[in-house]
Amino acid sequence: MYAKQRTIRRPISLEGIGLHTGNVTRITFKPAPADSGVRFIRADLPGRPSVMANIDYVVDISRGTTLANGDAKVHTVEHVLAAISGLQLDNLDIELASNEPPVGDGSALPYVEKILEAGIENQDAERRYLEIDSTMIHSEPERGVDIVVTPSDTFRITFMIDYKNPALGTQYTTLMDLDTEFATEFAPARTFCFLSEVEYLKQKGLIKGGGLQNAVVIYDSDQGQVEVDRIRRALDLKDEAFIGQTGIINDIPLRFPNEPVRHKALDLIGDLFLIGVPIKGHILAARSGHKANVELVKKIRAFYEKKQLAKKYKKANLEPFLDIEGIMRIMPHRYPFLLIDKVLDLEPEKRVVAIKNVTFNEPFFTGHFPGHPIMPGVLIIEAMAQAGGILLLKAVQEPETKLVYFMSLDNVKFRRPVRPGDTLRFELDMVAFRRSACKMKGKAFVDDAVVAEAEMMAMVVDR
């Protein structure tokens, strides 16, 4: 795995038709500066709008991965991204003359060959990796999908499929080393589908550029050649088609005995690129497809963002996620109205856990109440609201320049008094966030007992 970021030496192009749109198109790979990432540029549209290859811009995963940002929409990007990821490139501008890359032969090999022809060069900037340091799991029991990510010094994939079809059966594959295996052992693996899917896909307006020249079609009917001919006529397919002896239409030879599962691993490599940073970890996947891949990427991306936030705001070698110095960089509050001491955990735009240590020296105990000190309920809610302000950290850009105004409180309940010596733990979940307003639900605990709860509406404004 490389220490330096990488791009290509010179621009290079490839022409063809899109798999699903059938549009004639041209893709051009161009060098890009360090730390700029990978973006698709719609050169055919006014203003040349672009979309970054990032999970935040995924808008459809029905039969591939589609990215969009305003007018810049690009279908079926996974094979292009697999080529870029497999060759361990970091920065590219990818110009398209239409809304989908050319499908080529249904694999990532045409892109790999063009990129290698253009040449690869190192850049001055260091390459950042996300090191998986704890096991992550994504499971969809109703679809039989399981993905486990475990710590590893390098990037590895183990993939298994088990279709109930004689031409496929159970297959597995393992990628151990991108440098030595990707270009020759995985990039050439072509996309595949079942004969029964072809008619459905056509009716959905897909695979307009599909054919036996860019996909392996597997027979899965009990009607014999009659069914093959019926589908050919119904779809006005130009290709001759027969069942064959291997269970693959026209007996098209496989490039590898387990080519279908290798292609599934190829798709996974492409989808993982959407994290925005290469990972060091071992992905073990069973029966996964684009939908599950994207859900996994979202989880890993959230994990990455959490690490980045900790790196930015957390003081070194401290246990809490944010200490008081980190909190003060974000929040405008100061003594005696800063009521959060540390943040234990933060999932950006989702959840926060924060702590307030209630001591006898709190200024409000002087008058509330003499001889019977109790923390005012309004200040418990204020402390909860400050924890909510931390939760908004990743929901807006440049949080240090913003303030959080609370607009309403609903369903406020106080369950028991809070006294000196108690440790308040606030747990808040973001229910909704739109533009500059959000809704949160929070609870305050002492030990495991709920002492207060509330629903809050807040608005983000400039300082």
Of the residues 75, 290, 333, 372, which is catalytic? 290
**330 against 369, higher pLDDT:** 369
**Lowest mean per-residue pLDDT among 18-32, 204-218, 322-336, 369-383:** 204-218
Domain boundaries, the chain: 4-127, 131-311, 314-462
Find out if CATH 3.30.230.20 is the number for domain 4-127.
Answer: yes
Q: Is residue 463 pLDDT above 50, yes or no? A: yes
Label residues 357-375 b or e (16+ Cβ within 10 Å = b): ebeeebeebeeeeeeebeb
Q: Which positions ≥6 away from 142 have C-beta within 8 Å?
A: none
Architecture in CATH of 131-311: 2-Layer Sandwich (3.30)
Q: Cis link prior to 369 (omega < 30° from 0)?
A: yes
Tell which wins on pLDDT, 15 or 205: 15
Please give the C-alpha separations between residue 105 and each of 110, 111, 188, 235, 237, in angstroms, as whole numbers: 7, 10, 9, 21, 17
What pLDDT, in 10s, does the model give residues 235-268? 566 667 888 788 888 888 999 999 999 999 999 9
Active site residue 333: no
Using the 8-state DSSP alphabet, how is residue 184 labeled?
A: I
pLDDT per position as a tens digit, 300-337 = 998 888 777 666 655 544 457 888 888 888 888 999 99
Residue 290 known to be catalytic: yes
User: Measured in Å, how far apart are the chain's first and last C-alpha atoms?
Assistant: 44
Q: Is 256 exposed, middle or buried (0-12, 13-18, 19+ CB in 10 A)?
A: middle
Going by C-beta distance under 8 Å and a sequence separation of 6 or more, which residues neighbour residue 344? 320, 321, 353, 354, 355, 425
How far is Cα 46 from Cα 319, in angstroms, rounded to an integer? 51
Each residue's pLDDT tens digit, 152-201: 999 999 999 998 777 788 999 999 999 999 999 999 999 998 887 887 78
Q: According to the CATH classification, is domain 314-462 in 3.10.129.10?
A: yes
Q: Of 75, 79, 368, 372, which is the active-site residue?
A: 368
